[in-house]
């Protein structure tokens, strides 16, 4: 799907891959539902522990077994060890934040939340402004010459901000939202 000569990411590639994501990715329906409901729930505080834990589960389980099961289970269990009031405080601070750095700082204060998992929370807090980071989507951007460095495992907050700005720029260029861009990059990296 990449342009064979330049490896450029194009609007038609983004549109096509995002459509394929919807058709072929088994978690699409639940992602779309939570993308619609979680932002308001997180903003109002009307959510439960399972809603917050879902974001952590989603981050790892979207790899459909490609992520080491023991590491995934460990992260999910450690997240459940957080006091729920601490989870609510961190999410509330992230909702009230004006920038990615403040959001990431608030969320990474929680057990089992590193920058990539925090970026997933950011995406479900404000999907119009934030997008999740991970090795697959980073690799797709690097392959398209949109990022110069290999995926830093895990990325720092400033590396997430660099990635986020690149994604925002591409979304503007292709006249799409970050969710569409994410879906396209995920499919492209498969």
Statement: residue 4 has pLDDT above 80: no
Distance CA 141, CA 133 (A): 11
> Which own/partner pairs from 106-111 qualify as long-range (CB within 8 Å, at least 24 positions apart)?
108/157, 110/79, 110/82, 110/86, 111/78, 111/79, 111/81, 111/82
Last residue of a domain, one of 103, 125, 147: 125
% of the chain surpassing 70 pLDDT: 96
Q: What is the pLDDT of residue 96?
A: 98
Statement: residue 9 has pLDDT above 80: yes
Closest CA to 62 of 144, 137, 156: 137
Distance CA 190, CA 186 (A): 7
Statement: residue 99 has pLDDT above 60: yes
Closest CA to 72 of 30, 149, 148, 134: 134
Instruction: Kindly state whether residues 92 and 155 are assigned to the same domain.
Output: no
Instruction: Kindly state whether residues 145 and 159 are assigned to the same domain.
Output: yes
| pLDDT tens track for 142-152 | 999 999 999 99
Cβ atoms within 10 Å of 23's Cβ, excluding its own: 9
Q: What is the pLDDT of residue 189?
A: 86
Instruction: Kindly state whether residues 56 and 116 are assigned to the same domain.
Output: yes
SS3 64: coil
Closest CA to 122 of 169, 70, 168: 168
Statement: residue 44 has pLDDT above 60: yes
Q: Which two tokens stand for residue 101?
A: 């750095």
> 142 lies in a domain?
yes
Instruction: Kindly state whether residues 142 and 85 are assigned to the same domain.
Output: no
> 1 lies in a domain?
no
Instruction: Kindly state whether residues 111 and 141 are assigned to the same domain.
Output: no
Distance CA 24, CA 18 (A): 10
> 176 lies in a domain?
yes
Q: What is the pLDDT of residue 2?
A: 41
Distance CA 89, CA 100 (A): 17
Query: pTM of the predicted model, to two decimals?
Result: 0.93
Q: What is the pLDDT of residue 69?
A: 81
User: Which range marks the domain in which residue 170 is found?
Assistant: 11-26+132-188
| pLDDT tens track for 129-139 | 999 999 999 99
Instruction: Kindly state whether residues 39 and 121 are assigned to the same domain.
Output: yes
Model confidence at 64, pLDDT cuts 50, 70, 90, reads confident
Q: How many domains does the chain have?
A: 2
Would you give the distance in Å from CA 56 to the centre of its chain?
10
> 118 lies in a domain?
yes
Instruction: Kindly state whether residues 65 and 85 are assigned to the same domain.
Output: yes
Give the gyration radius of the chain's Cα atoms. 16
Instruction: Kindly state whether residues 37 and 21 are assigned to the same domain.
Output: no
């Amino acid at each position: 799907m990449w342009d064979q000569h330049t490896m450029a990411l194009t609007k038609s590639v983004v549109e096509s891959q995002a459509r394929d994501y919807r058709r072929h990715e088994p978690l699409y329906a639940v992602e779309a539902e939570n993308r619609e409901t979680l932002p308001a729930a997180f903003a109002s505080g009307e959510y439960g522990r399972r809603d917050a834990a879902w974001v952590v589960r989603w981050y790892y389980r979207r790899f459909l077994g490609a992520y080491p099961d023991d590491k995934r289970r460990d992260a999910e269990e450690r997240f459940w060890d957080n006091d729920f009031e601490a989870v609510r405080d961190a999410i509330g601070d992230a909702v009230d934040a004006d920038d990615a750095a403040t959001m990431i700082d608030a969320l990474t204060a929680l057990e089992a939340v590193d920058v990539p998992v925090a970026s997933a929370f950011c995406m479900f807090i404000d999907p119009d402004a934030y997008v999740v980071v991970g090795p697959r989507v980073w690799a797709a951007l690097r392959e398209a010459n949109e990022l110069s460095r290999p995926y830093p495992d895990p990325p720092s907050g400033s590396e997430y901000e660099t990635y986020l700005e690149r994604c925002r720029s591409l979304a503007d260029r292709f006249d799409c939202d970050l969710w569409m861009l994410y879906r396209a990059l995920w499919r492209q990296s498969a």
